[in-house]
Structure 1
Amino acid sequence: MQVSPGTRARAFMRKRGRGVQRWMAALAEQWRRGLRQPDTRPFLTERTVMTLGWIATAAPVTMYVSYVDQIRLNLSGEKGSMIQPLATVVNCSLWAAYGFLRHPKRDWPIVLANAPGIVLGALSLATAF
Structure 2
Amino acid sequence: MKIDNYVPKDKRKDVTDKRIKNLKLMSKVAIFTSSLMYIAYIPEIIQNFSGDPVSPIQPFVATINATLWTLYGWFKTYRDWPLVISNVPGVIFGFITLATVFIH
Give me the TM-score of the superposition, normalised by structure 2: 0.80
More helix per residue: 2
- The CA deviation string for residues 33-56 of structure 1, in whole angstroms up to 9 with x for no partner, is xxxxx339x755211111111111
Q: Secondary structure at the match of 2:53?
A: coil
Give me the whole-angstrom Cα distance separating, in 2, the residues matched to 1:106 and 1:112.
11
Residue 39 of structure 1: aligned partner: 3
Aligned residues: CA RMSD:
1.6
Cα distance in 2 for residues equivalent to 1:118 and 1:72: 18
- List alignment gaps of at least 5 residues for structure 1: 1-37
CA-to-aligned-CA distance 1:73-96 (integer Å, 9 cap, x gap): 101100110000100100000111
Q: Read off the aligned partner of 1:127 and give its amino acid letter.
A: T
Which residue number in structure 1 is paired with residue 91 of structure 2?
118
SS in 2 for 1:128: helix
Residue 68 of structure 1 pairs with residue 42 of structure 2: yes
Q: What is residue 11 of structure 2 aligned with on the other side?
A: none
Paired residue total: 90
